């Protein structure tokens, strides 16, 4: 029993990490589904999309073989429509709202249809937007994730010259670095960033970190406006004894290593416990299993009713053979020779609702112990508190305080996405980038 790599054959790795939601196998299959759409007036699917994509319109365009028009309809509302078609939890958004659910029939596969159009646009490099001539205004954006890219695209279309400062060596943010490889590959993310920036007027400077290589004051001095979309990133620590033991790892780091695509080089245990029940926890658990771990157990301190992931995500984990222990919270990690060997958990019960509206977990006084050789911490990510607290920005618990339109307490500085909301879906960050771009254009007098 140990943490090791290279457990499976190359074929097994390929199979385990292949596309979880494969595209339509033919144009005809897409047309059959598009033609099922009722093209509802006041469509509930559109109302459930945070970026308000005109879903009946783009489906109608597919059904009339106007794929280019369909891609334009999607991208005009959500420039990351290709990525979102793969990673959005559509069962709780557009597809969850489709009227077919009321008829107890399968909803229209909106994400798959969206993928059908947007992937063709990317593959065929369709130029669907024209940038207006430069108007001589310059905006700095911090973070080349969904919020930053979405803000940049709207601004550049209007002739604003945009410079994005990105601390990593690639763009895409969490899409590139923090999502399961069987949903989006790093290659796809790179293609998506290139497709977005092919508009022109968007210069991405990589390996440039706010607070290290650049300061907010410099950006304020050198640009007409600044948008902050640097997300969240630090894994929430468990703050329990034994957390420093070998074999205790952060989920984001674990997922990040898998995304290099060299599966046989990623170490994984035989008895893996994942702490948490959000999307990242599920991505970590399923991928540990797909890397060849024998036992994977998710430990969550509340019940299924309060879990942050969707039913569909939970089902993926279960189908992969992951076990779930509800109402359990990590208490102590024990080890031998510096390596983790046991996780002691408190048995919990639910009390009164807390500020999140969910019932609070309370210790019952009983404990149980699990044999482990790897513990993956996926109890959420925390904001870059130090960076935010050391700035002049108004902040709350490490998050930037910004208005709905992205305005912060500093004139000319706007913010949106995870660094403001603490971590939501990719599609929410895209909308936040759009909202801020609209405010920046107004601020610039355009
Ligand atoms: Fe089509 Fe369903 Fe949207 Fe109605 S709710 S427009 S049927 S996708």
- Which residues on adjacent β-strands are paired with residue 333? 343
Express each pLDDT in 326-367 by its tens digit. 999 999 999 999 999 999 999 999 998 887 788 899 999 999
Cβ proximity of 308 and 277 under 8 Å: yes
pLDDT the model gives residue 60: 98
Residue 3 has pLDDT above 80, yes or no: no
100 Cβ below 6 A of ligand 1: yes
Separation between Cα atoms, residue 81 and residue 153, nearest integer Å = 13
CB-based contacts of 194: which residues, under 8 Å, 6+ apart? Answer: none
Percent of the chain with pLDDT over 70: 100
The angle subtended at Cα 310 by Cα 308 and Cα 315, nearest 5°, is 125
Mean pLDDT of 67-79: 98
62 Cβ below 6 A of ligand 1: no
Tokens representing residue 147 in the block = 């919020």
pLDDT the model gives residue 176: 86
CB-based contacts of 355: which residues, under 8 Å, 6+ apart? Answer: none
- Nearest Cα to Cα of residue 288 among 317, 260, 248, 314: 317
Which of 42, 55, 91, 93, when mutated, tests ligand 1's pocket best, judged by the most ligand atoms within 8 Å of its CB?
A: 55
Cβ neighbour number for residue 384 with a 10 Å cutoff: 22
Mean pLDDT of 233-259: 91
Atom 1, ligand 1: which residue's CA is nearest?
37
pLDDT the model gives residue 1: 46
Q: How far is the CA of 172 from the centre of ligand 1 (A)?
A: 30
Least confident of 1-10, 50-59, 153-162, 253-262: 1-10
179 Cβ below 6 A of ligand 1: no
Tokens representing residue 155 in the block = 């601004």
H-only helix segments in 141-278 = 146-157, 174-177, 186-197, 216-222, 251-258
pLDDT the model gives residue 364: 97
pLDDT the model gives residue 427: 97
Closest atom, ligand 1, to C-alpha of 107: 2
Query: From edge to edge, which strands make up the β-sheet containing 328-336?
Result: 328-336, 339-353, 359-371
pLDDT the model gives residue 393: 92
The angle subtended at Cα 224 by Cα 389 and Cα 161, nearest 5°, is 115
Counting Cα atoms < 13 Å in the Cβ hemisphere of 272 gives 32
Q: How far is the CA of 114 from the centre of ligand 1 (A)?
A: 13
Domains located in the chain, CATH noted: 22-123 (1.10.1060.10), 138-232+383-443 (3.50.50.60), 235-381 (3.50.50.60)
Separation between Cα atoms, residue 254 and residue 402, nearest integer Å = 32
Cβ neighbour number for residue 70 with a 10 Å cutoff: 26
Q: How far is the CA of 38 from the centre of ligand 1 (A)?
A: 6
Which of 32, 43, 93, 110, when mutated, tests ligand 1's pocket best, judged by the most ligand atoms within 8 Å of its CB?
A: 43
93 Cβ below 6 A of ligand 1: no
- Nearest Cα to Cα of residue 62 among 33, 88, 26: 33
Cβ neighbour number for residue 266 with a 10 Å cutoff: 22
pLDDT the model gives residue 2: 63
113 Cβ below 6 A of ligand 1: no
CB-based contacts of 265: which residues, under 8 Å, 6+ apart? Answer: 5, 6
Helix, strand or coil for residue 301? coil
pLDDT the model gives residue 385: 82
49 Cβ below 6 A of ligand 1: no
- Nearest Cα to Cα of residue 74 among 46, 96, 43, 108: 46
Separation between Cα atoms, residue 391 and residue 387, nearest integer Å = 7
Separation between Cα atoms, residue 105 and residue 231, nearest integer Å = 38
Which of 56, 103, 109, when mutated, tests ligand 1's pocket best, judged by the most ligand atoms within 8 Å of its CB?
A: 56
| pTM given for the model | 0.91
Separation between Cα atoms, residue 328 and residue 311, nearest integer Å = 19
- Nearest Cα to Cα of residue 67 among 100, 21, 23: 23
Express each pLDDT in 29-46 by its tens digit. 999 999 999 999 999 999
């Amino acid at each position: 029993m140990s943490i090791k790599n290279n457990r499976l054959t190359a074929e097994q790795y390929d199979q385990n990490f292949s596309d979880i939601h494969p595209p339509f196998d033919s144009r005809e299959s897409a047309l059959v589904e598009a033609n099922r759409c009722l093209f509802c007036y006041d469509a509930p699917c559109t109302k459930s999309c945070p970026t308000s994509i005109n879903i009946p319109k783009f489906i109608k365009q597919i059904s009339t073989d106007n794929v280019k028009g369909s891609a334009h309809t999607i991208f005009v509302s959500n420039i990351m429509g290709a990525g979102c078609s793969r990673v959005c939890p559509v069962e709780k958004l557009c597809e969850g709202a489709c009227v077919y659910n009321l008829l107890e029939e399968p909803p229209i596969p909106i994400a798959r249809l969206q993928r059908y159009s947007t992937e063709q646009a990317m593959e065929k490099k369709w130029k669907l937007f024209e940038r207006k001539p430069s108007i001589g205004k310059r905006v700095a954006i911090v973070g080349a994730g969904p919020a930053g890219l979405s803000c940049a695209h709207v601004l550049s279309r209007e002739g604003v010259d945009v410079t994005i400062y990105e601390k990593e060596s690639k763009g895409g943010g969490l899409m590139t670095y923090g999502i399961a490889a069987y949903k989006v590959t790093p290659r796809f993310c790179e293609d998506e960033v290139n497709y977005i920036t092919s508009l022109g007027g968007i210069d991405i400077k990589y390996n440039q970190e706010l607070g290290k290589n650049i300061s907010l004051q410099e950006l304020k001095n050198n640009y007409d406006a600044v948008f902050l979309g640097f997300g969240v990133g630090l894994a929430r620590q468990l703050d329990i004894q034994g957390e420093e033991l070998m074999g205790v790892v952060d989920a984001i780091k674990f997922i990040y290593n898998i995304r290099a695509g060299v599966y046989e080089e990623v170490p994984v245990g035989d008895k893996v416990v994942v702490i948490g029940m959000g999307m990242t926890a599920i991505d970590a658990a399923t991928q540990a299993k797909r890397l060849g771990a024998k036992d994977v157990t998710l430990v969550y301190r509340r019940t299924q009713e309060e879990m942050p992931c969707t039913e569909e995500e939970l089902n993926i984990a279960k189908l992969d053979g992951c076990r779930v222990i509800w109402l359990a919270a990590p208490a102590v990690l024990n080890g031998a020779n510096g390596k983790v060997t046991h996780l002691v958990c408190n048995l919990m019960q639910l009390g009164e609702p807390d500020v999140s509206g969910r019932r609070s977990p309370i210790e019952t006084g009983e404990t149980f112990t699990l044999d482990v050789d790897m513990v993956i911490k996926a109890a959420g990510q925390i904001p870059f508190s130090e960076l935010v607290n050391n700035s002049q920005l108004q902040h709350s618990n490490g998050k930037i305080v910004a208005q709905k339109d992205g305005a912060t307490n500093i004139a000319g500085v706007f913010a949106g996405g995870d660094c403001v909301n603490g971590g939501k879906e990719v599609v929410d960050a895209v909308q936040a980038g759009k909202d801020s771009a609209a405010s920046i254009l107004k601020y610039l007098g355009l």
